[in-house]
Amino acid sequence: MAEIDLEIVKTDGYEVVVGRHSLANLAELLSSELYSGVKIFILADENTLQACMPVLMGKVPQLSEAEVVEISAGEESKDLEVCAQIWSALGELGGDRSSLMINLGGGVVSDLGGFIAGAFKRGIRFINVPTSLLAQVDASIGGKVGVNLGGLKNEVGLFRNPESVFVDPEFLKSLPRNQLLSGFAEMIKHALISDPQYWEDLKQVSFYDLASLDASILHSIRIKNQIVTSDPFESGRRKLLNFGHTIGHAVESNSFEGDSRALLHGEAVALGMVCESFISHKLGLLSKEELNDIASFIFSHYPKIKIDELKIHRILELIKHDKKNVDGEIRMTLINEIGDGVYDQKIGVDLIVESLYYYERWAN
């Protein structure tokens, strides 16, 4: 499949510009009256500073005068202490209410940068230039920004839209393979909850030919955008995006607690999608054939995660504390069939345990 040069996805009040020429539009925008004389900050982490900044500067020379603010790579940077340091730095560097923040990085940079911009001087404009696959298809759109607090993910945050988002797949060429797969899990999710043809298309994607991803990136952005614009504050349909995440989040949090390897978000979500597909099947929704299709596709791409008895106990505890539960009952998004999600399904703990055993059996 071919590279995409330029496509525009319109969302509630802003545009997502997608393709290998998308940054030319950013260059044009920054040369316009809207940004004349405006102080520009670029937020990047140590990796995106090294791998992505040269690409950005090459395509958007207007940014040569921008102030670069660097953070350490990783989830630890989504922290109020880091925000405080950056707010002070913005003030010292002459930031004012007309300033612009450009978030160059993965989901950590867009979540943190959006939050910093959303609160600095009661809110300055920001633009996302997502560089990880996960941020391109998921984190940089939808308006959720925020940081972690006391070990709780995204505990403090806002709904705040960027001025625009520029998605250039060229950035992915420096992204490590495991990070590519992490983002790919969200694309699989998009297919499973809403688009059976897309599920077939994803089977044709090759990570050895990154251009084959372009069309899927665009398609995933369209799906996520369509869902979030139909339900911006997650009172209904947006919950579809939680598929794979009830069990996935718990397994991800659990992996941070022990001394085994911390899982990437998408790796845990891939496990979660296998388990939640199994639950969908057990409840008479998803057919056995489709469950097999999903599990074998996911196991062909993702490393197998070991789950022992001890972990299952802890994972259940974490699921019971999920903020999406209602009156102590576990609510989950399931699928009726491939391409058709259904949210707010009440689930018993036994079925979750059974699904983890199902995963274990496949994994061995």
Minimum distance, C-beta of residue 196 to ligand NAD, in the bound complex (Å):
24
Whole-angstrom Cα distance, residue 162 to residue 192? 28
Q: Does 117 bind ligand NAD (CB under 6 A)?
A: no
What DSSP letter does each residue of 314-355 carry, written as one string?
HHHHHHHT-TT-BTTBEEEEEEEETTEEEEEEEE-HHHHHHH
Closest CA to 113 of 121, 340, 104, 122: 104
Minimum distance, C-beta of residue 46 to ligand NAD, in the bound complex (Å):
7
Q: Does 138 bind ligand NAD (CB under 6 A)?
A: yes
* Contact mark string toward ligand NAD, 157..176, x via CB under 6 A: --------------x--xx-
Rank residues 108 and 187 by Cβ distance to ligand NAD and give the closer one. 108
Q: Does 273 bind ligand NAD (CB under 6 A)?
A: no
Whole-angstrom Cα distance, residue 287 to residue 1? 31
Give the up-direction half-sphere exposure of residue 212: CA atoms within 13 A in the CB hemisphere: 10
Q: Does 216 bind ligand NAD (CB under 6 A)?
A: no
- Between the alpha carbon of residue 296 and those of residues 99, 137, 163, 292, 359, the distances in Å are 49, 23, 40, 6, 11
Minimum distance, C-beta of residue 238 to ligand NAD, in the bound complex (Å):
10
Minimum distance, C-beta of residue 247 to ligand NAD, in the bound complex (Å):
16
Helices (H), 60-206: 80-92, 107-119, 133-134, 177-194, 196-202
Q: Does 184 bind ligand NAD (CB under 6 A)?
A: no
Q: Does 75 bind ligand NAD (CB under 6 A)?
A: yes
Rank residues 133 and 285 by Cβ distance to ligand NAD and give the closer one. 133
Q: Which two tokens stand for residue 360?
A: 């274990």
Closest CA to 90 of 125, 130, 57, 140: 125
Any residues with CB less than 8 A from the CB of 127 and at least 6 apart, and which? 26, 100, 101, 102, 103, 162, 163, 164, 165, 166
Minimum distance, C-beta of residue 80 to ligand NAD, in the bound complex (Å):
14
Q: Does 131 bind ligand NAD (CB under 6 A)?
A: yes
Which one of residues 11, 161, 164, 179 is an interface residue with ligand NAD (CB under 6 A)? 179
Which one of residues 29, 66, 99, 111 is an interface residue with ligand NAD (CB under 6 A)? 111
* Contact mark string toward ligand NAD, 237..256, x via CB under 6 A: --------------------
The DSSP code for 171 is G
Whole-angstrom Cα distance, residue 57 to residue 257? 39
Nearest residue to ligand NAD, by Cβ distance, number only? 107
Q: Does 78 bind ligand NAD (CB under 6 A)?
A: yes
Q: Does 106 bind ligand NAD (CB under 6 A)?
A: yes
Whole-angstrom Cα distance, residue 97 to residue 83? 17
Minimum distance, C-beta of residue 78 to ligand NAD, in the bound complex (Å):
6
What DSSP letter does each residue of 249-280 carry, written as one string?
HHHHHHHHHSSSPPPPHHHHHHHHHHHHHHHH
**Residue in the block written with tokens 């009156």:** 327
**Residue in the block written with tokens 């990085």:** 105
- The one segment of 57-65, 133-141, 196-204, 354-362 that binds ligand NAD by CB under 6 A: 133-141
- The one segment of 32-40, 130-138, 319-327, 351-359 that binds ligand NAD by CB under 6 A: 130-138
Minimum distance, C-beta of residue 280 to ligand NAD, in the bound complex (Å):
22
Whole-angstrom Cα distance, residue 160 to residue 114? 7
Q: Does 267 bind ligand NAD (CB under 6 A)?
A: no
Whole-angstrom Cα distance, residue 184 to residue 117? 28
* Contact mark string toward ligand NAD, 25..54, x via CB under 6 A: --------------------x-xx--xx--
Q: Does 11 bind ligand NAD (CB under 6 A)?
A: no
- In the complex, which residues of this chain contact ligand NAD (CB under 6 A)? 45, 47-48, 51-52, 73-75, 78, 105-109, 111, 131-132, 134-135, 138-139, 142, 144, 153-154, 171, 174-175, 179, 182, 265
